[in-house]
Chains A and B, each alone.
Chain A
C-alpha cells in the first residue's frame, strides 16, 4: 500500500523521472506479495511478540506481566530438557540429511533418462506430507515382528526393538525419519551445485592421478560450497523448529523423551491455554534461529571473501 505513494511525487520532478519510474515499478509488482506477507506473516509475528509480555486472556483483556513468561519458560525444566532434545535432533538430522543428501547427489548425478526417474523416486519423501510420512514410519517402526523394520531384524535373529516406546532410542528413531525426509531435498540442491562444476577440473584431476577422496576434497567440495551453505542454513532453521515429525510420530513421548522446543510450546499454548507462555517460547526460538542464521551467513561471507 505504501509503495504506491511515491508514484505521483515522482511525476512532479521530471529530472528524476526515468530513475524513479524504474525504482517504483518493481515495488508495484512486489506490492501484492508484500501486502500478503504483511497481513499474514509480519503482523501476526508482531502480535506474537506483543503477547509474550502479557498474561493472555482473550475475553477479559490481556494483562502486562513484563518478562514473567520468559522467566517461566526458561526456568521450566521441561523446556530445558526440550532444548537438549531439539539440539540433538536438529544437529543429528541436519548432519545426517546433508551427508546422505550429498551421497545421493553423487550417486544420482548425470544426464541418463533412468537417472531422472530414479531421482524423482528418491525425491518423493520431500514432497509427501510429513503427517503421512509419520504414519508410514509408525507402521515401519511397529514394535513387534509384524513391523517392517522389526521383521527384517527378526530374519537376522534380532529384536523386536521398541523403536518409539523406548525412551533411550525414541529420539534417534525420530531423527532417522527426519533424515529420510530431508536428505532428498538436500540432494536436489547439491545436484544443482554439482551441475555447475567444471568438468575439465575432473579430467585434469584424473590426469594427475588423484584418488577419489582427493578429487572430492579438492575439486567437488570447494565447487559446491555455495550449495552447502544454503543447505546448512536451511537445515539449521529446520532443525530448530522441528515439530510435525515429532508430533505425529511420538507426540513428544514416551515420558517426554522426544519433546522438542516446538512441541512444548504447542502443549503450553493449546493444551494448557497459556498463549502468553507459548508466545514467549516461540519468540525465544525466533531469536535463536535469527542469531544462528546470521552467524552462518557471516561465516559464509567470510569464507567467500577468502
Chain B
C-alpha cells in the first residue's frame, strides 16, 4: 500500500516537474516572441544608425551595398532593416516611442508621417551637397508649416511603354496625343498585331481597382493632362477640393467614354479589379501599352525583351503632357539625438557616389534610385541606358506630384473609390458623382484642419 502511494507520489512529482518545465518554456517562448518585434541591435550606440527602408530582399541587397560604402567612408555603422509592410511596422514602433533613426519611404507619405509627429524637420542648408538637389525635388519635402521634413532621395515619373513590334506591323507611330493613343489602342485591340488570327490583344493596361488607391494613382496623369487637380493649395497652409472643376468633369468623362465604356479591348479585360500585381497583360504580351513607372523596365526586359518595346513620353491631353511623379525621401525619425550621424548619412545618400551605387544593378538586383536627385548626374549615363533619359526628361519637364504636405492617403483612397465607381457604372452622371467626391475630399481636408 505504502509502495503504491510512494509510486503515485513519485509519478505526481514527475508530472509537476514536467508541468513546471512546460510552463517555464511557455513563458520563455512568450517573452522571446515579445522581444522579437522591438529588438534593435545597437540602437543605443551613438555611432550606429538604425535605418529602415520599404524593400523586398532583392532591393535590400542594393541598399546593403550603399550602406557598406557609407560605413567604410565614415565609420558610422548601420543597423539596416528592410521592411516589407513598412507602415504597419512603423506604427507599432511609433507606439513604443522608439522610432528608427533614418527611414527611406515614399514621398506621398510625408504628410501622414509629419502630422503624426514622426519626423524631424530638416534644414536643406545643413545637408552637405543639398544645393545639388533641384528646387523641384526640394519643394516636394515641404510640410504644412513650410518646414522641410525629408531629403529627396529618388525620383521617377510615369512614361508610356509601348510595343514597337506591334506598331511596326500595323504601320503606326507611337502616339503623342490622347486621340492618337486611342486610335493606336483600338488598332492593337482589333487588327491582330500578334498575328495569331485571334482577337486576344488589348490596347492598354490599366490597374484600375480602388484597392490601395490604384485608380487614383494610375488616373492622376490623365487628370493633370486634362488640366484637373484633386486638391489645390489655397495659400497659408490651407487647401481646397478641386474635383468638381469643369476640367475634371471633362477629363473623367473622356476617360469613362473612351477607355472604359467605349469600344471593347481599349483597356485589358478585368481592368476595374486589377492592381499592379494582377495587371500583367503588358509583360504577358497581350496588351500593347502601359503607362507606368520606370522600375518596371527590369521586369519587361526579362519577359518581353528589350527590343520589343520602347519608352516614350506620355501622350498629351488638352492641357499638356504632365505625368504623375513620385519617389522616395530620406526621413529622420523624431527625437533620436543622433543628428550629426543622420545628416552624414543623408548627405552620403544624395551625393553622386551614394546615388551612383544605388542606381547600378549588381548580380541582377533592383537598383533603388531611379532618377537621381543629384543634378550633377545623368540617369542614362550612369545606367548606360538611353531610355532613362526619357524618364528623367519627363520628371524634370512634365511631371506633377501628389500634394504631399497634407495626409494624402485618405484623399487618394476616396478619389480612387469614386473614379472606380464612375468607370464601373457607365450610365452614371459624371458631374454629380464628381460633386459627391468633392464633398468627400472637402471632408477629408476638414478632418485635417486644412480646409480653406
Contacts and interface: CB of A to CB of B under 8 A. Distances in A.
B12 interface: yes
A59 B273 contact: no
B421 A144 contact: no
Interface string A247-277: 1011111111100000000010011111100
A178 interface: no
Given A25-B15, A58-B116, A167-B425, A256 B200 contact: no
Contacts of B25: 32
A165 B23 contact: no
B393 interface: no
Interface stretch (B87-95, B158-166, B167-175): B87-95
A84 interface: no
Contacts of A116: none
Contact residues on B (Cβ < 8 Å of other chain), bracket: 35 or more
A35 B92 CA distance: 22
A59 B15 contact: no
A280 to B, nearest CB: 16
B34 A39 contact: yes
B30 A36 contact: yes
B41 interface: no
Interface string B420-444: 1100110000000000000000000
Interface string A34-49: 0110011000000000
Contacts of B26: 31-33, 35-36
Contacts of B420: 253-256
Contacts, number: 135
A21 interface: yes
A164 interface: yes
Contacts of A274: 410
| Chain B binding surface, main DSSP class | helix
Nearest to B428: A255
Contacts of A32: 22-23, 25-27, 29
B139 interface: no
A250 B25 CA distance: 43
B402 to A, nearest CB: 14
B266 interface: no
A218 B22 CA distance: 49
A247 B424 CA distance: 18
Given A32-B26, A251-B211, A256-B417, A165 B272 contact: yes
Contacts of A58: 91-92, 94-95, 116
Contact of B117 (A31, A35, A60, A170): A60
A19 interface: no
Q: B25, B27, B211, B334 — which one has the most chain A CB atoms within 10 A of its CB?
A: B211
Interface string B22-48: 110111011001100000000000000
Given A60-B116, A255-B425, A35 B269 contact: no
Interface in B196-234: 200, 209-213
A35 B278 contact: no
B422 to A, nearest CB: 8
Closest 5 CB pairs of A and B: A32-B26, A251-B211, A28-B19, A58-B94, A255-B421
Interface of A: 1, 3-4, 7, 21, 25, 28-29, 31-33, 35-36, 39-40, 57-60, 78, 138, 142-144, 146, 162, 164-165, 167, 170, 247, 249-257, 267, 270-275
Interface of B: 12, 15-16, 19-20, 22-23, 25-27, 29-30, 33-34, 87-88, 91-92, 94-95, 97, 99, 112, 116-118, 200, 209-213, 269-273, 275, 278, 334, 407, 409-410, 413, 417, 420-421, 424-425
17 contacts: A25-B19, A28-B20, A32-B22, A32-B29, A39-B34, A58-B94, A59-B116, A138-B278, A164-B270, A247-B211, A251-B210, A251-B212, A254-B272, A255-B421, A255-B424, A272-B410, A273-B409
